[in-house]
Amino acid sequence: MATANPAMSEAVFRRVGRADSVSDVMTLGGTVAKSAILVVILLATGTYSWSQALYGGTGLSYGLMAAGGIGGFIVALITIFSPKLAPFTAPLYAALEGLILGAISAVFEAQYAGIVSQAVALSVGVLVVLLALYGSGFVRATEKFRIGVFAATGAVCLVYLVDMVASLFGTHLPYIHESGLVGIGFSLVVVVIAALNLILDFDFIERGVQQQAPKYMEWYGGFSLLVTLVWMYLEMLRLLAKLRGRD
């Protein structure tokens, strides 16, 4: 239960073991660089998907979302089960996630002008603040903290799973998708839980560096961090849309 992010399971680092040589060791700087590359790839494909969704029609928008969602899920599973492939699958995952995020962002922007820039700014702000707090040692991922975040994330996943099953029968869980106080409160809680997962991600990347994991794990670490960032951004969009919906 080291982290709620399935990509950051401690079993991953146990499987890959230590690097064969000093020159092949995972470093913090290398992980930061790989993470930045993945974000750039995501932004590039996201921009393309955004433009196509705005000017290419609804059909193309849904096509990009489907391709990004299904493809990203498959690539994520491949990466989790075969970390050695991360140098190839992590960039592909970032590109696919960019497709779905760009299309989804365009849909939200069409409804609420300026909401995407707000969500991006808030997501970046949360990332920077938490990284600063973690780097300064003010916030640490203790065992109780890990268990608490894991349990909270599991509860959110269970709620979404039940809601997904309910949607197959033409209904949804009440209140959580609405712009009332309950819906806004639910989204706010989920955003906080997603943000706390970043602390666990920072901690786990640091553990990988300390355990001298192979260098390809830098790509895996960047991929894992991107999984949480994508989730947090989407939840931030949902929260802002509910707040704007009350106006």
The crossing angle, in degrees rounded to 10, of helices 86-111 and 217-245 is 10
Task: Name the pTM for this structure.
Answer: 0.88
Taking alpha carbons only, the member of 79, 72, 74, 75 closest to residue 12 is: 79
Rounded Cα–Cα distance for residues 207 and 223 (Å): 16
The single-letter code of the amino acid at 1 is M
CB 217 within 8 A of CB 19: no
Segments in the chain forming alpha helices (H): 10-16, 28-55, 58-81, 86-111, 115-135, 143-167, 181-210, 217-245
**Residue 203, token pair as written in the block:** 């901690």
Main-chain dihedrals φ then ψ at residue 211, nearest 5 degrees: -85, 0
The crossing angle, in degrees rounded to 10, of helices 217-245 and 181-210 is 170
So what's the pLDDT on residue 4? 46
So what's the pLDDT on residue 86? 93
Domain boundaries, the chain: 6-245
Segment 150-181, tens digit of pLDDT: 889 889 889 888 888 888 888 778 778 888 88
Residue ranges, the chain, pLDDT below 50? 1-4
What dihedral do alpha carbons 25, 26, 32, 35 form, nearest 10°?
120
Q: Which residues contact 197 (CB under 8 A, 6 or more apart)?
A: 3, 4, 5, 149, 153, 228, 231, 232
Segment 109-147, tens digit of pLDDT: 888 889 999 999 999 999 999 989 888 888 888 888 888
